[in-house]
Amino acid sequence: METLKGHPLYPFFWPDSVAVIGASSKPGKVGYAIMSNLILGAEGQLGGGFRGHVYPVNPSGEDIFRQRTYKKVGDIIGKVDLAIVAIPAAGVEQVLDECAGKGIRAAVLITSGFSESGEQGRERERRIVEKARARGMRLLGPNCIGVINTSNRLNTTFAKKAPPRGPISFVSQSGAICTSVIEYSAGEYMGFANFVSIGNKSDLEDSDIIEYYAKDPSTKCISIYMEAAKDGRRFYETLKKKVVPVKPVVVLKAGRTAAGARAASSHTGALAGSDTAYSAAIHESGAIRAVTMLELFDFSRALAYQPPVMGDGIAIVSNAGGPAVIAADVAHDIGLPLSTLSKDTLEAIGSVCPPTWSRGNPVDIIGDSDLDRYQRVLEILVAAPEVHGVITIVGPQAVMPLEDVAHMIVDVSRTTQKPFTASFVGVVGQPSEDYLDQHGIPEMEVPERPVRAMKALHHRGLYLRRRKFA
Amino acid sequence: MKAEEILTAAKAEGRRVLDVHESRQVLLELGVPMNRSALAADRLSAVKAASEIGFPVVMKIVSPDVVHKTEVGGVKVGLRDAAGTGAAFDAMMASVGEKRPDARVRGVVVEEMVRGTELIVGSSCDPQFGRMLMFGMGGVFVEVYKDVSFRLVPISTFDAREMIEEIRGKAIFEGARGHPRADKESLAKVLVDISTGVARHPDIEELDINPLMVTEKGLVAVDARVILGTLGRTCPL
């Protein structure tokens, strides 16, 4: 990570030491949950707590989690890189002064009661930003849950769980979306490099965070939840020029409708531009827009774990007729081009299938297919020059154990640079599903989702091909 | 007059809306093909202009104070001969004089009458993202079906082609059922030229070409409207 040292956001992700202002020894308090996540590690956090120093700050001075507690930031002996502020709003301005006096250049403001809560809060927020600017500090928040870096186990949040480690970096305007994504990701083996909740964006905004992610070597895919950009044009220019050229980006911009926009506005106090403009901006930058949370998950997972589709043609292979038909319909609806299989490919598949097979794409290899037939067909499709990605659909039946199919699909996928997505239709919480997830093949229980995930990979491939020939 | 001079003059007069003739001049300079037209201050020159352009023609009032020309009797279509053109001029002056006695009238424009498929191109300003470009099916389609696509300015040729392909009713300007077929590359060029043009003139807050006609002979803009930003305010790019 040496390359990012010196970046203004570096102390937010890679502090050697943090001060928790408002640390508490009382379970149920935010200042307790943050300390617990830093010292013990959140639920599901492998390896325990944060790798750096943690200095609790509380006027009581009583030990918290057996750590020596300081009455004031200024009492801490030694350098502090990041302040985590979780005290009532009225005291934040003074604490920032003390932090600046201590030489701290970065602060996460967990505290709420600022621009999201009326005129007095707006004024308070204006003052803290002014203070931070004057004293050379950068602020994350307020009204946020802060940062998780799964590499050094920095976790400034009071979320119950930690996400698994992996290649996705996420930035969210909503803290609740963050915690929900964490809950979901644990069950799906969807791994994250970094998490940032930016709250009111008083200082740092989406554009700053994604610019950092673009340079972060552990990030392979950037996911964004936003209700309104602080500066729409800057967001667009940052995406288009600095981020999308190096990494795929998925944006869930909520508040598409009048009803949603009203909710978003009262939620964060932000001015939402017209949704048409957001759509145009996201599309034109080369990023992908997700409309639902499920799409945000599915697209991010596919883009983080699978290579892009580098041609125009996908094969759908299935031992189940109905789900393959649904997949083909959805592919058509969303404009995912299916391969027209060549004579050679058709003949090769015909030689390993009974004559009742579909003789086209989707490749329906019939419900009595055993593991060997499925594998041979998959190998033929992967080798076919007209096929640039494969959606594997499996209907559970008695002749083919699901776990064996999962292993076979992973094995075949490793022989190629062509992307795979999968649906084991109707199967939830089985070892086969976990095995695919753990090996980076996005698997979902309904056939339309891997089709949409493949479309995200196709979108990224088109973008890369266009740039190459531009 | 050059576009920049027209914009500067309008600003100096404290006007936000350019009249038909000024808007046409601006669009011509941006590279948009326009139908043939001439400005006429009186009855005689209106008739002369119509004969030169060739019948049938359309006549429109030219006034910086009239935004909705039809409502004051400021538009006459399908004028077939010199006599009809002269009569239309008299009627228009009388009607506008009665309905908007306050309006400053510079005369009329006489325009070549164009038949074809109506498309629409517009540029507007979003408070968050700045200048945007819109393209789509014109006429009733834009109001009822909202069959339009949007991009942020400036756009590339690739973006322009995508905008065209996104139109659900594109089969119509692709020549379905005997409709004139649009040359998509020319269409993309018009979109790129407008994008480049509005980016170059930050004073333009809104620009509308409605309709841009697809004819057997090519693309022709028939009506145009340019609105400037309020004093001192320019659209962020």
CATH code (residue A333)? 3.40.50.261
pLDDT confidence bin for A258, thresholds 50/70/90: low
- For residues B103 and B135, state if they share a domain: no
Strand B204-215 with B130-137, pairing: unpaired
What is the structure's pLDDT at A265?
Answer: 54
Which backbone phi and psi does A222 adopt, to 5 degrees? Answer: -110, 130
Q: Which residues of B touch A278 (CB under 8 A)?
A: 128-129
Residues of chain B with pLDDT below 50 are none
In A185-314, where do the E strands start and end? Answer: 192-197, 221-226, 249-253, 288-290
Give the integer Cα–Cα distance in Å for B82 and B93. Answer: 17
Closest Cβ–Cβ partner in A273, A280, A283 for B127? A273
Give the integer Cα–Cα distance in Å for A112 and A88. Answer: 8
Closest Cβ–Cβ partner in B126, B128, B152 for A284? B152
Place of tokens 């979780």: A86
Q: How many domains is chain A partitioned into structurally?
A: 2
Please judge whether A279 and B129 are an interchain contact, meaning their C-beta atoms are less than 8 angstroms apart: no
pLDDT confidence bin for A270, thresholds 50/70/90: very low
Strand A390-394 with A420-424, pairing: parallel
State pLDDT tens for residues B27-43: 999 999 999 999 999 99
Q: Which residues of chain B have a Cβ shorter than 8 Å from any chain A Cβ? A: 126-130, 132, 150-152, 155, 158-159, 236-237
Give the integer Cα–Cα distance in Å for A345 and A342. Answer: 5
pLDDT at A269 over 50: no
- In sign, the C-alpha dihedral spanning A205, A206, A210, A211 is negative
pLDDT at A180 over 70: yes
Last residue of a domain, one of A272, A302, A332: A302
Distance of alpha carbon A116 from the chain centroid: 25
Interface ipTM above 0.95: no
pTM of the model: 0.90
Centre a 10 Å sphere on the Cβ of residue B83 and count the other Cβ atoms it contains.
10
What is the structure's pLDDT at A395?
Answer: 93
- For residues A335 and A263, state if they share a domain: no
Alpha helices per DSSP H over A252-370? 258-268, 275-285, 293-305, 321-334, 343-350
- For residues B124 and B191, state if they share a domain: yes
Q: Is residue B9 in some structural domain?
A: no
Question: For residue B124, what is the nearest residue in chain A, using CA coordinates?
Answer: A277
- On whether any CB of chain B is under 8 Å from the CB of A463, the answer is no
Question: For residue B151, what is the nearest residue in chain A, using CA coordinates?
Answer: A280
Q: What is the CATH number of the domain that holds B47?
A: 3.30.1490.20
- For residues B98 and B156, state if they share a domain: no
Question: For residue A233, what is the nearest residue in chain B, using CA coordinates?
Answer: B129
Judged by average pLDDT, the poorest of A86-95, A176-185, A189-198, B51-60 is: A176-185
Distance from the Cα of A442 to chain B's closest Cα (Å) equals: 29
DSSP codes, A36-48: HHHHT--BT-TT-
Last residue of a domain, one of B93, B113, B133: B113
- For residues B87 and B45, state if they share a domain: yes
State pLDDT tens for residues A330-372: 999 999 999 999 999 999 999 999 999 999 999 999 989 999 9
Q: How many domains is chain B partitioned into structurally?
A: 2
pLDDT at A2 over 80: no
Listed in sequence order, the residues at least 6 apart from A264 whose beta carbon sits closer than 8 Å to its beta carbon are A227, A228, A254, A255, A270, A272
Q: Is residue B67 in some structural domain?
A: yes
- For residues B96 and B145, state if they share a domain: no
Q: Is residue B74 in some structural domain?
A: yes
Please judge whether B129 and A236 are an interchain contact, meaning their C-beta atoms are less than 8 angstroms apart: yes
Centre a 10 Å sphere on the Cβ of residue A84 and count the other Cβ atoms it contains.
31
Q: What is the CATH number of the domain that holds B184?
A: 3.30.470.20
* A430-457: average pLDDT: 94
Give the integer Cα–Cα distance in Å for A223 and A181. Answer: 11
Last residue of a domain, one of B113, B147, B171: B113
Give the integer Cα–Cα distance in Å for B92 and A387. Answer: 66
Closest Cβ–Cβ partner in A232, A278, A284 for B151? A284
Give the integer Cα–Cα distance in Å for A59 and A314. Answer: 62
Centre a 10 Å sphere on the Cβ of residue A410 and count the other Cβ atoms it contains.
17
- For residues B125 and B109, state if they share a domain: no
Q: Which residues of A touch B126 (CB under 8 A)?
A: 232, 273-274, 276-277
- In sign, the C-alpha dihedral spanning A252, A258, A261, A266 is negative
- On whether any CB of chain B is under 8 Å from the CB of A241, the answer is no
- For residues B105 and B128, state if they share a domain: no
**Integer CA distances (angstroms), B215 to A109, B161, B183, B222, in order:** 61, 19, 10, 11
Last residue of a domain, one of B97, B113, B129: B113
Judged by average pLDDT, the poorest of A183-192, A436-445, A452-461 is: A183-192
Mutate which: B123, B128, B135, B147, vs A, most A CBs within 10 A = B128
- For residues B109 and B121, state if they share a domain: no
Distance from the Cα of A397 to chain B's closest Cα (Å) equals: 42
Q: Which residues of A touch B150 (CB under 8 A)?
A: 276-277, 279-280
Closest Cβ–Cβ partner in A228, A231, A281 for B152? A281
- For residues A15 and A54, state if they share a domain: yes
Closest Cβ–Cβ partner in A229, A232, A280 for B151? A280
- For residues B164 and B88, state if they share a domain: no
- For residues B209 and B123, state if they share a domain: yes
- For residues A81 and A138, state if they share a domain: yes
Please judge whether A277 and B151 are an interchain contact, meaning their C-beta atoms are less than 8 angstroms apart: no
Give the integer Cα–Cα distance in Å for A214 and A154. Answer: 20
Residue type, B133: L
- For residues B124 and B223, state if they share a domain: yes
Last residue of a domain, one of A251, A279, A302: A302
Question: For residue B148, what is the nearest residue in chain A, using CA coordinates?
Answer: A276
Domain that holds residue B86: 36-113
Listed in sequence order, the residues at least 6 apart from A414 whose beta carbon sits closer than 8 Å to its beta carbon are none
Which backbone phi and psi does A176 adopt, to 5 degrees? Answer: -65, -35
Last residue of a domain, one of A240, A275, A302: A302
DSSP state of A117: G
CA-closest candidate to residue A135, choices A167, A101, A164, A165:
A101
Listed in sequence order, the residues at least 6 apart from B166 whose beta carbon sits closer than 8 Å to its beta carbon are B149
How many contacts, defined by CB atoms under 8 Å, are there between A and B? 49
What is the structure's pLDDT at A448?
Answer: 96
Closest Cβ–Cβ partner in A229, A276, A466 for B150? A276
Distance from the Cα of A274 to chain B's closest Cα (Å) equals: 7
Domain that holds residue A30: 2-302
CB-based burial, A90-99: b 16+ in 10 Å, e otherwise? eebeebbebb
Give the integer Cα–Cα distance in Å for A336 and A361. Answer: 13
Q: Which residues of A touch B130 (CB under 8 A)?
A: 232-233
CB B120 within 8 A of CB B137: yes
Please judge whether B127 and A271 are an interchain contact, meaning their C-beta atoms are less than 8 angstroms apart: yes
CB B64 within 8 A of CB B104: yes
